[in-house]
Structure 1
Amino acid sequence: MHISPPAADSAPLRSDAAAPEAGFDLDPAEVRVLGVLIEKSFITPDNYPLSINAITTGCNQLTAREPVMNLSETEVQAAVDRLITRRLASKRDQASARVAKYEHLVRLRHSLPPAEQAVLAILMLRGAQTAGELRQRCERLHRFDDTAAVDAVLEHLAEKYPPLATALPRAPGTKETRHVHLLGGDAAVQEMAEAQSAASGGRGRVAELEDEVRSLRAALETLRHDFDTFRRQFD
């Protein structure tokens, strides 16, 4: 699925968003851009900070992104400008650079160590995930010894003020809790919860069908046994 957020000129800068007590309400483009800035600071440090072109390429990757987006450089620049207003990103002045480059400020503004930055970035880039999925997908950013270490990071993110992550209610038919970031505000969390519920509903129906197949196989085996017993009476 390809998603293109509203045009840049339809989203005015929100000067009050930088207040630490206000919580978060980043739009999808801002979430994606910030996630890319954090991710690339880990996996391509030699090419960091990033130009608008590099950020756009990272935003529109077809792999390791959920959902896949199709942002223009104009939309990315507008999102970067809004993040700067929110004090979540900044422009890095480099004398040798021919184009402007940008970096995230999450590690400074929210005092996040590398492990917490890594988990937050993957949540922003790939949506709701279990601790096990996060451990695997964070491998290039930060290596966790076990899922308990990921759980500890998720707990720390949830205890921040304002909170940066939370656990979704466990959907019917699922065994593990999924976690989401809170940078998109309540509406975004609700949307992710509904998406999880819809997905789990599909998985639940598959499970029902699998149970029916197993029951039919068991019934067929019983019929075969009964028929063999009946036939042996005439041998």
Structure 2
Amino acid sequence: MEKARTVPDSYPLSLNTLVIGCNQKTTRDPIMNLSEAEILTALDELKTRDLVRPASGSRVARFEHNFQRGVGVFEQAAVLLGMLMLRGPQTAGELRLNTERWYRFADISSVDGFLEELQERSEEKGGPLVVKLPRAPGAREQRWAHLMCGPVDVEALAAGGGGAAPSANTSMLEARVVVLENEVAQLRATVDKLCAELGIANATSTTESPLSPS
């Protein structure tokens, strides 16, 4: 969902770029370390739920999300849910800032409006998809958490606090890192293909990306 909006030239995603995206260390909560096998298993499950579908027109297997239609939500709601899944609980203000490259919300009240709709979603449509957490000690605003993985421990999340909203400069730097990571992934895929056609070993295939934190 993120890459479709932020790096459309690299989308739909190959298995290689999916691994890089899933294991990204910046702007992620939780941070994951998934193998290709685990990602393939997850893709199979998502396909059965009509949340992911194979993309056509490429010799390399690629995948694209079908989240908005599969879950049955508006684009704005899908954007908010995607950001909550990527970065964990956030305030409406943080969500507005963090989703700017995905969708430009007019103001914080519009973000709150869509979140409240998701919280009040009827059981006929599948029930609530977000929950508003109790105000954490010392916090001025309440945070929201997604329910895509089922009920959450509201007390534990509320007690967990959370970092302040990133500055504009930090967000821009993180966005540039994401773009560079995807460009490196594309270059690696091209080198792998050339090496395979030439029948030579590729020393870079096992080398960690210089953009990845050690």
Give the TM-score of the pair, scaled to structure 1: 0.62
Alignment match, 2:131: 166
CA distance 1:43–1:154, shift in 2 (3 Å): same
2:31 matched residue in structure 1 = 68
- More helix as a share of residues: 1
Q: Is 2:90 the partner of 1:129?
A: yes
In structure 1, the partner of 2:141 is 176
Question: What SS class does the counterpart of residue 68 from structure 1 fall into?
Answer: coil
The one-character-per-residue Cα deviations of 1:108-143 (angstroms, maximum 9, x if unpaired) are 123333322211110000011000110110011011
**2:161 is paired with a residue of what secondary structure?**
helix
Q: Which amino acid aligns with 2:159?
A: S
CA deviation string 1:22-60 (max 9, x = no partner): xxxxxxxxxxxxxxxx11121122322211111111111
Aligned to 1:115: 76
Alignment partners' CA distance in 2, 1:152 and 1:158: 10
Distance in 2, Cα, partners of 1:164 & 1:103: 22
The percentage of counterpart residues that share the same residue type is 45
**Amino acid in the other structure paired with 1:184:** C
1:5-16 aligned at under 5 Å gives the runs: none
Within 5 Å, which residues of 2 pair with 1:39-118? 39-94=2-57, 97-118=58-79
* 1:144 alignment partner in structure 2: 105
1:170 partner amino acid: R
RMSD over equivalenced CA pairs, Å: 1.8
Residue 85 of structure 2 aligns to which amino acid in structure 1?
A: M
Match of 1:197 in 2: 159
Quick check: 2:136–2:161 contact (8 Å CA) kept in 1?
Answer: no
For residue 230 of structure 1, what is the aligned residue in structure 2?
none
Cα distance in 2 between the residues matched to 1:159 and 1:105: 23
1:75 aligned partner, one-letter code: E
Task: Give 1:175's aligned amino acid.
Answer: R
For the 8 Å contact 2:134–2:158, the answer to whether it is kept is: no
Alpha carbons of structure 1 residues 113 and 174: separation in structure 2 relative to 1, 3 Å? same
